[in-house]
Structure 1
Amino acid sequence: MQSRSLLAAGTAASLAFVAAPDAARSESAEALPPVVVTPTRVSQTVDETLSSVTVIEREAIERQQPKELQDLLQGRAGVSLNSNGAFGKTTSLSLRGTDSGHTLLLVDGMRLGSATAGQPAWQFLPPQQIERVEVVRGPRSSIYGADALGGVVQVFTRRGEPGEPRVNAFVGGGSLGTYEAGAGVSGGSESTRYSLSGGYFETDGINVRDGVGDSADDGYDNTSVTGRVSHRLSPQVELFASGLYAEGETEFDANELMSGAPYDSAHQDYAQAAGRTGARIRVTDAWLAELAYGHSRDEQETYYEGSFDDRTDTARDYLSWRNDLALAPWATLSVGTDWREARISSTTDYAETSRDNWGVYQLLTLELARHRVEVSSRYDDNEAYGGHTTGQLAWGYALTERWQARASYGTAFQAPSFNALYRPPGIFSAGGNPDLEPEESQSYEAGVRYTGPAGYVDVAAFRTDIDNLIEWVGPRGSSRPQNVEEARITGVELESGGAVGPWQLKGAVTLMDHGNPDEPGSRLDRRPNASLRLDIDRRWQDLELGATALARGRSFDGEERLAGYGLLNLRAGYHLGPRWSVRATVDNALDKEYRTAAGYNQPGRTAYLSIHYGR
């Protein structure tokens, strides 16, 4: 009944854009569809892509003033996030019910994530440094290789535009001893563009676990800097570079491993970095090449009661060569190769500390009358587990000028992490298993999209079958990872957005069923059966008001059932002048108690105020 209610609410909100007369929707001109690059690595509009894509622009980020990236992504179509408490605590992101490690995180085209844990540290990404986010749901291994089984999230840092230097700055604070500030400058000319930004966030946080560790609040701070620059040497050659760096400290609750007695304090120092540089070369009118080098780092040091306990640093290097070829007015081909190496340095003595991966891929796109076809394939040769081939076939059909239908089938795989392969025996387990095979999947999708003068509606149904799931099998202290299970995830997504008169609306509904197909009644941990998000905003001259409603169905964490919940977040903004504005937010306005992971608390009602200068 709850799932049906969410679907009905989302459908009603979505169809409002289609049912309302064009004149009543908005007096503004029809907005152009966003241009995305993540689905295929090639620029195309959302209407052209044959993937399910969500785009979050800078304007939405500024309106919502998220304190964490999860605030921006939670409840979007196909997206669910779970965290071990608020503010800098371990967070996992699931796309269409897959594991967090099944989602590839890119920052300006560079992979970012822990090679040991096998998943990104989503909690440390600073939202104030983000220009836009592209979320691609569904397998992308035929383009990106391992780790894109569930999809790809690409974060783009702030960028510059031609013109005089533009300065922006903000300062704010609020509940839970929270303080934040940031500043940046951007600009450029017809040949050169640049942007440089920095930010700081600090909060006392909340006590994330009752009866574990101490009873004090578990704080968090984050210092970040980003930069992007591009320079056109000639009409044929452009150089580019970008980088993100974030560091800080996050406190958490923990018990002594052997005695069970609480620690008086525990914290982790962390650093994350991602950088990429290269050149785009227009070889001929029909041939565009890109050469790039990237480097990323994920570093963590853990302390108990002020004493150092362990350190784990992972680094990745990346080289790529991509070629986009216009074969004919109706045919394009992208071919490329890339090389990656992952290395770890740790106080834990891993059996192996590095591995590399070579990959080659191709994407052929055909436009034939009303039909659009994409055929992609990729071969990876990994030092740890050998060769692997993936592929994808997608077809689209323009039903009318406004309606497009699509269908696709794709295979993908997830590489075992260093922890799963090589971690030595310890208190928690009997160690890694070097004989593990990659997790593999087959995915099917069918969808339809409407794009009108003032809005869009996108509906997709999907199914993913995963083989060779990696699970840690055995009792505490002697468990070991094994390829033991299968999983099937089926679902439907509905996403819409646009204008109804002076109101700006955006909504998403996701319904899912998941578990082992051979075990009726089984389910995957921490995946909700349903979710809904509705954003509504309106501007009266200099005043902006908005709200976000979030609803999440029940889920399970082990044997514990996590109840569903609904949240309401409120926001307001007032433009004091051409360059000055003040913004206020009230998160969890109804002061609901909720959890996304068993035993970990989330904040109650909180309020924040900030003053902004510039864009």
Structure 2
Amino acid sequence: MKRTALSTAILLATSPALADTPDTNDAQALETVQVTASRIAQTVDETLASVTIIDREEIERLQPQQFTDLLEGRAGIETAQNSAFGKTTSVFTRGTSSDHTLLLIDGVRMGSATSGGASWQFLPPEEIERVEIVRGPRTSIYGSDAIGGVVQVFTREGRKGPPKVNAFVGGGSFNTREAGVGVAGGTESTDYSLSLSHFATDGINVQDAVGDDDRDGYDNTSLASRVAHRLDNGVEFFGNILYSEGTTAFDSGSAFSPDESDFVHAALRGGVRIPVTQRWDTELALGHSRDESDNFLEGEFFSRFDTRRDMVDWRNDIEIADDVYVIAGIDAYEDRVESTTDYDEDARYNVGAYSVLSVDLGRHHLEGSLRYDDNEQFGDKTTGQLAWGLQLNDPLRLRASVGTAFKAPTFNDLYFPGFGNPDLEPETSRTLELGARYSTGPYYADVAIFQTDLDQMITFDPVEFRAENLDEARIRGIELEGGYATTRWVSRASLTLLDAEDRETGNELQRRAPVTARVDLDRQFQRFSVGGSVIAKSRSFNDPGNADRLSGYGLLNLRASYQIAPEWQIQATVNNVFDKDYETALGYNQPGRAAFVKLRYQQR
């Protein structure tokens, strides 16, 4: 039976085995397994969704300073930041809004119940084992928010073997310094990992025309742990946590807005998996997430926005017959708000029932999903998705899908004093997609064509001076992604062409560039490796009226590493080599040329 729980990611997720040269006889085709697209463990070649996997090997090779360094320029992905290092960050998947991308951490739903978006800027790259990016609607599986797609982050994990220590220390431009240590291992019955990291930087001046000229710093201390214990009868108990806290500073320029924030960003999950029969597994899990901020102005307390989410998920994975699999479950969560702002309501619940059906019919593969949500605020919503795949020949697979999705209004949309509107309806969407994937030996290529129609988009009505369901949008696009990997060369390239239009005005959606591209290329020379990334973006507009233009730009980042000894490695990177001035949000500075060095230890 195909395992469908998150344990599958722990047991099966693995980096691709790479041949030395493309025509090596013993080249292996073992591929990375993903579980986010349909909750079913499938290789990327098998899935009927557009998926990108970033594993731990790639994370260390790219040497990111921020989590968004891993995402920017990927197929269908675009980011915008109110400056660098811990500042407010938006992630646009296929041209949809930032709060239309669901962030999961080890299966835990993340995001602020007040603002709606996830706190991407607080995710620590050093605590991440792998990232799964699924583009396209997934509301029929995960519920609200997944209109544009899902990004699932898996924290560092342990595997069978004696405990092995890893550690790192680094620093660089802007008085950046970081350090961390961890241990991971396992026995026949128990896998475990525990790690701690700290990142701090003086940062850069966020805005030239606002506030002071001082640098606006950031620090983040993170703890991550995962454990799984299996009994002789196959029952497995599991738990995981990712906890981050710190401080980020920014320019205020006003006596009515803060200039510093203390944050907490956390995900916890625990539960049990039970093999009921040979063909039926059941899982019960409890989860908890926090997105909290205490805000200060010139050192004095200013405001608080703390949101917490408690979750429960009961899932059943059933093999009906050979190559026929069903997932059926019920989940529920409650959002709670604690704030110095007086919201009319400070809590609401959502209960959902979902099912996924997967059928293999020789060269054909069918998948369908259906979900019903009952929300305390807006009532019920039903969403569904249907996908079909055809294995045209051994390396080439075609796919097509259609799906609906929705996004629930946030507490700010509904209840914020002055402009909240409790009569708002959820935003809804319909998406059509055609795609193809070619994979053979060390090569792969993937192309997808899609259209998303968004209705009931929530926007601010200046006449009524409150949030309203006013806008409609149509988003069309083409995504191309390809790669090549051997033990000496690793490359990956992506290109996204996007037409994101507000149907009411004919304007482009704000901060969505018509063209984005990325190329990563690395070369291994025994102990020494060199590489680089080129990230390019065309012009876009900062505002809905398309009056404020954001210029296009291209960045070159270079990196190198040297294996000093089997357990020791030194890394160095230079970002924005040509010292380009650019903005992803109008008026917010981005770093110029910057260099960083890191020393790693990994016990063998």
TM-score, length-scaled by structure 1: 0.93
Deviation at 1:592, TM superposition (A): 0.7
Which amino acid in structure 1 is aligned with residue 468 of structure 2? Q
Distance across 1 between alignment mates of 2:238 and 2:37: 21
Deviation at 1:538, TM superposition (A): 0.9
Aligned to 2:564: 576
- Taking a change above 3 Å as real, the CA distance of residues 434 and 26 of structure 1, as seen in their structure-2 partners, is farther
Tell whether 2:272 aligns with 1:279.
Answer: yes
Tell whether 2:527 aligns with 1:542.
Answer: yes
Tell whether 2:541 aligns with 1:556.
Answer: yes
Could you tell me whether the CA contact under 8 Å between 2:434 and 2:449 is conserved in 1? yes
Distance across 2 between alignment mates of 1:498 and 1:508: 12
Could you tell me whether the CA contact under 8 Å between 2:20 and 2:487 is conserved in 1? no
Q: Which piece of structure 1 moves more, 249-258 or 175-184?
A: 249-258
Which amino acid in structure 2 is aligned with residue 442 of structure 1? R
Aligned to 1:482: 468
Distance across 2 between alignment mates of 1:27 and 1:180: 43
Written as runs of structure 1 = structure 2, the 5 A alignment for 1:432-443 is 432-443=420-431
Which amino acid in structure 1 is aligned with residue 282 of structure 2? A
Deviations 1:54-86 (A, max 9, x none): 000000111111111001110000000000001
Deviations 1:376-405 (A, max 9, x none): 100000000000000000000000011000
Deviation at 1:25, TM superposition (A): 6.1
Distance across 1 between alignment mates of 2:154 and 2:29: 21
- Taking a change above 3 Å as real, the CA distance of residues 573 and 23 of structure 1, as seen in their structure-2 partners, is closer
Tell whether 2:482 aligns with 1:504.
Answer: no
Tell whether 2:437 aligns with 1:449.
Answer: yes
Deviation at 1:113, TM superposition (A): 1.0
Aligned to 2:177: 179
Deviation at 1:518, TM superposition (A): 4.9
- Taking a change above 3 Å as real, the CA distance of residues 500 and 237 of structure 1, as seen in their structure-2 partners, is closer
Deviation at 1:115, TM superposition (A): 0.4
Distance across 2 between alignment mates of 1:252 and 1:54: 33
Could you tell me whether the CA contact under 8 Å between 1:25 and 1:454 is conserved in 2? no
Aligned to 1:11: none
- Taking a change above 3 Å as real, the CA distance of residues 500 and 356 of structure 1, as seen in their structure-2 partners, is same
Distance across 2 between alignment mates of 1:469 and 1:198: 41
Instruction: Specify which of 359, 362, 368 is matched with residue 361 of structure 2.
Output: 368
Written as runs of structure 1 = structure 2, the 5 A alignment for 1:290-301 is 290-301=283-294
- Taking a change above 3 Å as real, the CA distance of residues 28 and 88 of structure 1, as seen in their structure-2 partners, is farther
Deviations 1:1-44 (A, max 9, x none): xxxxxxxxxxxxxxxxxxxx996566762341210010112211
Q: Which piece of structure 1 moves more, 29-38 or 401-410?
A: 29-38
Instruction: Specify which of 555, 571, 575 is matched with residue 587 of structure 1.
Output: 575
Instruction: Specify which of 277, 292, 301 is matched with residue 308 of structure 1.
Output: 301
Aligned to 1:70: 68
Aligned to 1:246: 244
Could you tell me whether the CA contact under 8 Å between 2:21 and 2:486 is conserved in 1? no
Could you tell me whether the CA contact under 8 Å between 1:22 and 1:453 is conserved in 2? no
Distance across 2 between alignment mates of 1:389 and 1:318: 20
Could you tell me whether the CA contact under 8 Å between 1:442 and 1:466 is conserved in 2? yes
- Taking a change above 3 Å as real, the CA distance of residues 27 and 91 of structure 1, as seen in their structure-2 partners, is farther
Q: Secondary structure at the match of 1:405?
A: strand
Q: Secondary structure at the match of 1:591?
A: coil
Deviation at 1:208, TM superposition (A): 1.1
Tell whether 2:579 aligns with 1:600.
Answer: no
Distance across 2 between alignment mates of 1:205 and 1:482: 37
Deviations 1:343-381 (A, max 9, x none): 011111100000000100111111111100001100000
Instruction: Name stretches of at least 5 consecutive residues in structure 1 with no aligned partner.
Output: 1-20, 426-430
Instruction: Specify which of 391, 394, 405 is matched with residue 387 of structure 2.
Output: 394
Aligned to 1:94: 92
Could you tell me whether the CA contact under 8 Å between 2:398 and 2:436 is conserved in 1? yes
Could you tell me whether the CA contact under 8 Å between 1:212 and 1:254 is conserved in 2? yes
Which amino acid in structure 2 is aligned with residue 206 of structure 1? I
Q: Which piece of structure 1 moves more, 560-569 or 233-242?
A: 233-242
Distance across 2 between alignment mates of 1:584 and 1:31: 31
Tell whether 2:332 aligns with 1:347.
Answer: no
Could you tell me whether the CA contact under 8 Å between 2:471 and 2:504 is conserved in 1? no
Q: Secondary structure at the match of 1:143?
A: helix
Deviation at 1:530, TM superposition (A): 0.7
Deviation at 1:503, TM superposition (A): 1.9
Q: Secondary structure at the match of 1:604?
A: coil
Deviation at 1:241, TM superposition (A): 0.4
Distance across 1 between alignment mates of 2:474 and 2:27: 44
Q: Secondary structure at the match of 2:39?
A: coil
- Taking a change above 3 Å as real, the CA distance of residues 22 and 167 of structure 1, as seen in their structure-2 partners, is closer
- Taking a change above 3 Å as real, the CA distance of residues 87 and 26 of structure 1, as seen in their structure-2 partners, is farther
TM-score, length-scaled by structure 2: 0.94
Q: Secondary structure at the match of 2:585?
A: coil
Aligned to 2:9: none
Aligned pairs, number: 582
Deviations 1:304-349 (A, max 9, x none): 1111110011000100111111111131111100011000111111
Q: Secondary structure at the match of 1:365?
A: strand
Instruction: Specify which of 416, 432, 438 is matched with residue 409 of structure 2.
Output: 416
Deviations 1:165-187 (A, max 9, x none): 10000000000110000000000
Could you tell me whether the CA contact under 8 Å between 1:282 and 1:289 is conserved in 2? yes
Deviation at 1:614, TM superposition (A): 0.3
Distance across 2 between alignment mates of 1:27 and 1:490: 42
Distance across 1 between alignment mates of 2:325 and 2:299: 58
Distance across 2 between alignment mates of 1:245 and 1:363: 31
- Taking a change above 3 Å as real, the CA distance of residues 321 and 585 of structure 1, as seen in their structure-2 partners, is same
Could you tell me whether the CA contact under 8 Å between 2:101 and 2:151 is conserved in 1? yes
Could you tell me whether the CA contact under 8 Å between 1:26 and 1:454 is conserved in 2? no
Instruction: Name stretches of at least 5 consecutive residues in structure 2 with no aligned partner.
Output: 1-18
Q: Secondary structure at the match of 1:113?
A: coil
Could you tell me whether the CA contact under 8 Å between 2:160 and 2:185 is conserved in 1? yes
Aligned to 1:526: 511
Q: Secondary structure at the match of 2:231?
A: strand
Q: Secondary structure at the match of 1:234?
A: coil
| Structural RMSD (CA) | 1.5
Deviation at 1:590, TM superposition (A): 1.1
